[in-house]
Amino acid sequence: MILKERGYHYIDIYGGSGKEHDHFLGNISTALQWKSKLNISFFDDFGKYFFIEEHITIKNVLGRNISLIPFPIASEINTQGLLHPLKNGVLKFGERIGTRNKAEEDEIKISFKGGDLLIYISNS
């Protein structure tokens, strides 16, 4: 990827959905492919979404919707600061995903041990 070769590690993409579902899914696929080498975040009119590594602390999210989407599975998930916390939880695409949770605190923590996990944060 050209951006990686030029030394960029953090990439923000605005309008990544392209207003088409297939375009959105293609961008998610690309982000998953490059997640170990680049930190890619997508922004649109409704929120932000990105893959995380094993743990993350996110600030300034009180009251926002937070979704955890596994690709295709994420295990040993632990969360702090969410209305519906997970403790060593397992999410599996097609069975159980973590959509529409709410941040009860201004700072939340998410960690997991196996698989891939996409985070969505609503704008409001």
What's the mean pLDDT in 116-123? Answer: 97
Q: Domain residues for 34?
A: 1-45
What's the mean pLDDT in 97-123? Answer: 98
Same-domain check for residues 114 and 62 = yes
CATH number at residue 109: 2.60.120.320
What's the mean pLDDT in 59-69? Answer: 98
Which of 59, 58, 60, 88 has the alpha carbon at shortest distance from 76?
88
Tally of helices (H runs) and strands (E runs) in the chain: 2, 9
Entry pTM: 0.92
CA distance 19 to 17: 5
State the total domains in the chain: 2
Binning pLDDT at 50, 70 and 90, where does residue 1 land? low
The helix (H) or strand (E) run that includes residue 34 is helix 21-34
